[in-house]
């Protein structure tokens, strides 16, 4: 038994073994894996083994592509059979909406560099002869997908890790994790204690329990997942794998027979009150009643299945998550990392995931943008098992469904309500949800003022309302009031706060009290980790405002860098303050009528903050904008929220004030070229690439994180560019390919229709050689390439005259 190691990985499934393999491969030999039973005795041994690569985002897909790259060569490298079969995969469309989805995915694949081709139903059948073509409109064929033997893969990874000096301890159960002063010190096992710097929780469905040992909440929810295996019946051996999302089923060949599984509409959670401590090398009892609808669907697509002899109905638990993505990365306890919740993609993902985790642990940042998978994305509501279960059930049951852009999840709502909620309901708010908050997308009461003829074509017009254009116009022409209470608000307090923030932020934030700074927080590679505003409230107090969904993430990033001397405190004050944004040319007139504070440009300039009274309501007013108009964000203690909303609405009545929602903000910000973190700018993009160099102060007295890397990256080879499409009604959804002379040169980050400029706008990273205004490009939208042009940005008010008026 080892008593000391640099890293202890807990869990000997495919996830843990891949992390161990990569840590060793990248040069860390002093690494140990601890498994309570035998390797591959958790979810891994009963996996169906399909490896598909195409996911909805670049980084997720890249991770899967890295898996395939590893799986191709692993067998040879470690001299152990993995069963890798690069047979390709077929995804069928048997409804019009799924056909459109395939066209969209084909476009993504082009930008991700995946060899995916659309084929006819008959071509698909040639590749997968037992399928029926009935109702099939077409298929996508991805040639480099495949399948393998999950247990063999795990053993091969373990062998590769051992060959490089890693240690594997089986039959060793982790019983405790020692945390002192917020940092991991050791792992307790039933065979003794192992001192270590880093613990990785790769416990699969037990990740929640292992996390609890370190007081870290890991919201995985085990779900039972089933597939049948048939007796060999002479089927072709190397058929591609097959998915039919309309029928909710998937298939692969198995020694001349078939494996067929799927995602039921009535999923079955497992072990919610704790997974039995001896649940290893075990399956659940076959549940034919639950599987029957899937089996029927499977026989519709593969009629021969009805006659096939079923060898086994495999029913095994797998770790799912409330949003269907992996849970990866560090936690609020220093040195405690999580790699779990693989949502039935753990075999496909592990090769790339292990590499990403190892790079992250060794180098301090992952090689890819990990926002969607980041362990810090879940809010405190996910500590409720019931809430996490509700969400996970919805995600599982709708896994294969087409989700139109703007699709909103319904389970567990409403949860977090802003104080003016009833007023918003009264105005016919159409609500969306983010971070548990109910947020207005648009108001039905504004529909009549909008123009239905502006509905975007196709998918972009599915979840849309004429009210969006009406609210946009009101904001540009008179004024609009937006409830932004859900914004995440953090406070950084203490004698060391100014110095700490100067070290974290690329912009200068240690300015006189009452000043607002817009800034990025970079990682050591110069990528943008956070994008937010910092307001100095007093000498030793700063207020950070960041996106609704980013609060936990940004808080964690700041917390991870806090000085050890206790001179800085961090606090999430989101729930304490309501926030309303009053923006538009009439906003000063409206607000001035409610306050004695002089709101003139001289007395209350752009990017400053003041404590003011609005009627009887005490507010912190920030003169900032995310729409490119004159205006203020007003923060008041939550209990004053309704009164503030009422006062502003009443005073604005005669000035043409309209309530507005987030869809209008999106269109307004696009015209003004304001970036959104997570899509336009990510941890893999530098501020210079994102066109945010104006907010970077290289000459600050206090060097900030990422400065060294940015010094070398001042002249980027690619940049975020603004495009306008030739067709105004054709609107991008994100991740569309951009071509120049038929060559793929970039992909769209975000876009939409600008109701003032009357153009369809798209942002995309393009090589420096293609950035010149007037450059003609083409954007691939649902299989069609639409002409577009690179234009100078921003499209609206480039001199900032309205913002500073
Ligand atoms: C029926 C089914 C079909 C699937 N099909 C596919 C597929 O086709 N393609 C795909 O990509 N994925 C598929 N999956 C998902 C895939 O199998 C999983 O994502 C993957 O195996 C998870 O690996 P893991 O290492 O995270 O977890 P596990 O394999 O469960 O490993 C976790 C390990 O942690 C150990 N452990 C727990 N507690 C402790 C402790 N206290 N101390 C020490 N060790 C501990 C356990 O013993 C276990 O061995 C499927 C899953 C199921 C259930």
> Separation of 687 CA from ligand 1 center, angstroms?
39
Give pLDDT tens digits for 231-241.
Answer: 999 999 899 99
Structure tokens at 97: 């909406």
Mean pLDDT of 225-253: 96
SS3 3: coil
Write a three-state SS string for 311-365.
EEEEEEEEEECCCCCCEEEECCCECEEEEECCCCCHHHHHHHHHHHHHHHHHHCC
* Closest ligand 1 atom, residue 339 Cα: 26
Q: Assess contact for 28 and 198: CB atoms under 8 A.
A: no
Q: Which residue has the tokens 């997570």?
A: 678
SS3 244: strand
> Separation of 667 CA from ligand 1 center, angstroms?
43
> Separation of 59 CA from ligand 1 center, angstroms?
22
What one-character-per-residue DSSP string does 346-415 give?
Answer: HHHHHHHHHHHHHHHHHHSS-SS--GGGBGGG--GGGGSHHHHHHHHHHHHHTTTS---TT----TT-S-
| pLDDT value at residue 664 | 98
* Closest ligand 1 atom, residue 340 Cα: 26
| pLDDT value at residue 365 | 87
* Residue having the nearest C-alpha atom to atom 31 of ligand 1: 13
Q: Which residue has the tokens 């307090």?
A: 493
pLDDT category at 557 given cuts 50, 70, 90 is: very high
* Residue having the nearest C-alpha atom to atom 27 of ligand 1: 204
Residues in the chain: 805
Determine the Cα–Cα distance for residues 512 and 509; give it in Å rounded to an integer.
9
What separation in angstroms does the CA of 711 have from each of 53, 113, 699?
35, 30, 11
* Residue having the nearest C-alpha atom to atom 14 of ligand 1: 344
Contacts 24+ apart (CB under 8 A), 466-469: 467/430, 467/442, 467/443, 467/661, 468/442, 468/661, 468/663, 468/664, 468/667, 468/755, 469/664, 469/667, 469/755
> Separation of 390 CA from ligand 1 center, angstroms?
22
**Which residues, including other chains, have CB under 8 Å from residue 273's CB and lie 6 or more apart?**
none
Q: Which residue numbers are catalytic?
A: 225, 250, 531
> Separation of 205 CA from ligand 1 center, angstroms?
7
Q: Which residue has the tokens 């980013």?
A: 550
Residue 320 has φ and ψ, to the nearest 5°, of -105, 165
Question: Which helix (H) or strand (E) is 738 found in, with range?
Answer: strand 737-740
pLDDT category at 274 given cuts 50, 70, 90 is: confident
Given a cut of 90, is residue 367 above it in pLDDT?
no
* Residue having the nearest C-alpha atom to atom 48 of ligand 1: 42
pLDDT category at 491 given cuts 50, 70, 90 is: very high
Which of the listed residues 171, 346, 352 should we mutate to test ligand 1's pocket, taking the one with most ligand atoms within 8 A of CB? Answer: 346
- Pinpoint the alpha helices (H) of 113-234: 121-127, 150-163, 207-213
Given a cut of 90, is residue 334 above it in pLDDT?
yes
SS3 447: helix
Give pLDDT tens digits for 638-679.
Answer: 999 999 999 999 999 999 999 999 999 999 999 999 999 999
> Separation of 63 CA from ligand 1 center, angstroms?
18
| pLDDT value at residue 162 | 98
785: nearest Cα among 742, 749, 721: 742
* 8-state DSSP, 681: B
* Closest ligand 1 atom, residue 42 Cα: 30
* 8-state DSSP, 4: B
> Pocket residues for ligand 1 (CB within 6 Å)?
10-16, 34-37, 41-44, 46-50, 150, 173-174, 202-206, 210, 225, 227, 280, 314, 316, 318, 340, 342, 344-348
* Residue having the nearest C-alpha atom to atom 39 of ligand 1: 36
Structure tokens at 371: 């926002």
82: nearest Cα among 351, 339, 282: 351
* Residue having the nearest C-alpha atom to atom 20 of ligand 1: 346
Determine the Cα–Cα distance for residues 204 and 220; give it in Å rounded to an integer.
8
SS3 207: helix
Determine the Cα–Cα distance for residues 724 and 516; give it in Å rounded to an integer.
32
* Closest ligand 1 atom, residue 210 Cα: 41
Determine the Cα–Cα distance for residues 375 and 379; give it in Å rounded to an integer.
10
> Separation of 394 CA from ligand 1 center, angstroms?
21
Given a cut of 80, is residue 1 above it in pLDDT?
no
* Closest ligand 1 atom, residue 17 Cα: 25
* pTM for this model (two decimals): 0.96
| pLDDT value at residue 659 | 98
Given a cut of 90, is residue 797 above it in pLDDT?
yes
* Residue having the nearest C-alpha atom to atom 35 of ligand 1: 11
Which of the listed residues 1, 8, 11 should we mutate to test ligand 1's pocket, taking the one with most ligand atoms within 8 A of CB? Answer: 11
* Residue having the nearest C-alpha atom to atom 52 of ligand 1: 47
Side-chain-side CA neighbours of residue 33 (13 Å): 34
* Closest ligand 1 atom, residue 349 Cα: 11
> Separation of 166 CA from ligand 1 center, angstroms?
21
* Closest ligand 1 atom, residue 39 Cα: 49
Q: In what order do the strands lie in the sheet with 327-330?
A: 167-169, 31-34, 7-10, 198-201, 336-340, 327-330
Given a cut of 90, is residue 24 above it in pLDDT?
yes
* Residue having the nearest C-alpha atom to atom 2 of ligand 1: 47
**Which residues, including other chains, have CB under 8 Å from residue 282's CB and lie 6 or more apart?**
none
> Separation of 44 CA from ligand 1 center, angstroms?
4
What separation in angstroms does the CA of 694 have from each of 506, 687, 800?
10, 9, 14
- Which residues are 609's β-sheet partners? 622
133: nearest Cα among 343, 302, 379: 302
Residue 330 has φ and ψ, to the nearest 5°, of -70, 175
Average pLDDT, the chain: 97
Which of the listed residues 13, 223, 284, 287 should we mutate to test ligand 1's pocket, taking the one with most ligand atoms within 8 A of CB? Answer: 13
574: nearest Cα among 645, 697, 487: 487
pLDDT category at 272 given cuts 50, 70, 90 is: confident
> Separation of 761 CA from ligand 1 center, angstroms?
43
> Separation of 204 CA from ligand 1 center, angstroms?
5
Structure tokens at 780: 């691939």
SS3 440: strand
Given a cut of 90, is residue 273 above it in pLDDT?
no
Peptide bond into 629 cis (omega under 30): no
**Which residues, including other chains, have CB under 8 Å from residue 73's CB and lie 6 or more apart?**
none
* Closest ligand 1 atom, residue 252 Cα: 8
| pLDDT value at residue 117 | 95
What separation in angstroms does the CA of 134 have from each of 117, 156, 242, 262, 402?
21, 41, 15, 19, 20
Burial of 575 (C-beta count, 10 Å sphere; 0-12/13-18/19+): exposed
* β-strands 759-767, 737-740 pairing: unpaired
121: nearest Cα among 84, 93, 101, 160: 93
Which of the listed residues 43, 212, 262 should we mutate to test ligand 1's pocket, taking the one with most ligand atoms within 8 A of CB? Answer: 43
* Residue having the nearest C-alpha atom to atom 19 of ligand 1: 346
* Closest ligand 1 atom, residue 15 Cα: 25
Given a cut of 90, is residue 374 above it in pLDDT?
yes
Which of the listed residues 10, 41, 48, 275 should we mutate to test ligand 1's pocket, taking the one with most ligand atoms within 8 A of CB? Answer: 48
* Residue having the nearest C-alpha atom to atom 4 of ligand 1: 47
| pLDDT value at residue 56 | 85
């Amino acid at each position: 038994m080892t008593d000391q190691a640099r890293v202890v990985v807990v869990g000997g499934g495919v996830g843990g073994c891949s992390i161990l393999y990569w840590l060793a491969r990248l040069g860390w030999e002093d690494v140990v894996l601890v498994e309570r039973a035998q390797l591959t005795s958790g979810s891994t041994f009963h996996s169906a083994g399909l490896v598909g690569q195409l996911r909805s985002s670049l980084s997720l897909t890249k991770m899967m592509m890295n898996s395939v790259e590893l799986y191709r060569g692993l067998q040879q490298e470690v001299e152990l059979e993995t069963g890798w079969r690069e047979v390709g995969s077929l995804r069928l469309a048997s409804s019009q909406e799924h056909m459109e989805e395939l066209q969209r995915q084909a476009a993504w694949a082009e930008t991700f560099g995946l060899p995916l081709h659309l084929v006819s139903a008959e071509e698909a059948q040639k590749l997968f002869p037992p399928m029926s073509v009935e109702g099939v409109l077409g298929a996508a064929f991805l040639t480099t997908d495949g399948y393998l033997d999950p247990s063999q893969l795990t053993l091969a990874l373990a062998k590769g890790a051992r060959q490089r000096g890693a240690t594997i301890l089986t039959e060793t159960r982790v019983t405790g994790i020692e945390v002192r002063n917020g940092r991991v010190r050791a792992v307790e096992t039933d065979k003794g204690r192992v001192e270590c710097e880093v613990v990785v929780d790769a416990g699969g469905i037990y990740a929640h329990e292992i996390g609890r040992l370190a007081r870290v909440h890991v919201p995985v929810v085990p779900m039972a997942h089933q597939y049948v295996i048939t007796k060999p019946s002479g089927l072709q051996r190397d058929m591609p794998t097959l998915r039919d999302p309309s029928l909710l089923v998937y298939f692969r060949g198995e020694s001349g027979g078939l494996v067929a599984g799927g995602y039921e509409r009535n999923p079955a959670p497992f072990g919610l009150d704790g997974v039995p401590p001896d649940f290893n090398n075990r399956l659940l009892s076959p549940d034919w009643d639950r599987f029957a609808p899937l089996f029927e669907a499977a026989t519709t697509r593969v009629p021969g299945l009805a006659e096939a002899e079923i060898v086994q109905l495999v029913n095994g638990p797998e770790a799912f998550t409330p949003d269907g993505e992996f849970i990866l990365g560090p936690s609020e306890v220093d040195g405690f990392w999580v790699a779990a919740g693989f949502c039935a993609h753990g075999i496909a993902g592990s090769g790339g995931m292990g590499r990403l985790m190892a790079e992250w642990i060794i180098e301090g940042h992952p090689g890819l943008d990990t926002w969607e998978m980041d362990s810090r994305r879940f809010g405190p509501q996910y500590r409720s098992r019931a809430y996490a279960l509700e969400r996970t059930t919805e995600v599982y049951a709708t896994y294969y469904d087409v989700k139109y852009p703007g699709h909103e999840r319904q389970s567990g709502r409403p949860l977090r309500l802003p104080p003016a909620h009833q007023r918003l309901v009264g105005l016919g708010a159409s609500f969306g949800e983010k971070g548990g908050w109910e947020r207005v997308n648009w108001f039905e009461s504004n529909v009549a003022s909008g123009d239905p003829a502006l509905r975007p074509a196709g998918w972009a017009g599915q979840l849309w309302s004429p009210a969006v254009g009406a609210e946009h116009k009101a904001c540009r022409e008179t004024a609009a009031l937006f409830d932004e209470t859900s914004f995440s608000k953090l406070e950084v307090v203490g004698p060391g706060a100014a110095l700490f923030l100067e070290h974290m932020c690329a912009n200068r934030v240690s300015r006189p009290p009452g000043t607002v700074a817009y800034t990025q927080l970079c990682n050591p590679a110069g990528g943008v980790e956070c994008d937010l505003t910092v307001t100095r409230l007093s000498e030793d107090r700063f207020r950070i405002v960041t996106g609704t969904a980013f609060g936990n993430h940004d808080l964690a990033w700041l917390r991870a860098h806090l000085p050890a001397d206790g001179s800085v405190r961090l606090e999430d004050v989101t729930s304490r303050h309501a926030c309303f944004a009053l923006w538009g040319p009439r906003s000063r007139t409206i607000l001035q009528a409610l306050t004695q504070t002089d709101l003139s440009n001289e007395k209350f300039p752009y990017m400053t903050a003041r404590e003011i009274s609005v009627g009887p309501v005490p507010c912190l007013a920030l003169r900032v904008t995310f729409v490119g108009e004159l205006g203020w964000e007003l923060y008041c203690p939550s209990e004053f929220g309704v009164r503030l909303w009422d006062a502003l609405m009443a005073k604005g009545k005669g000035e043409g004030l309209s309530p507005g929602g987030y869809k209008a903000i999106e269109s307004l910000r696009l015209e003004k070229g304001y970036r959104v973190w997570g899509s336009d700018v990510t941890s893999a993009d530098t501020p210079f690439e994102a066109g945010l160099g104006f907010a970077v102060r290289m000459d600050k007295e206090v060097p900030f994180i990422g400065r060294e890397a940015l010094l070398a990256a001042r002249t980027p080879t690619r940049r975020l560019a603004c495009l306008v499409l030739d067709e105004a009604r054709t609107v991008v959804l994100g991740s569309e390919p951009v071509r120049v002379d038929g060559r793929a040169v970039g992909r769209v980050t975000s876009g939409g229709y600008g109701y003032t400029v009357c153009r369809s706008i798209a942002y995309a990273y393009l090589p420096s050689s293609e950035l010149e205004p007037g450059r003609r490009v083409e954007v691939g939208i649902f299989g069609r390439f639409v002409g577009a042009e690179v234009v100078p940005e921003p499209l609206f008010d480039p001199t900032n005259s309205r913002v500073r008026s």
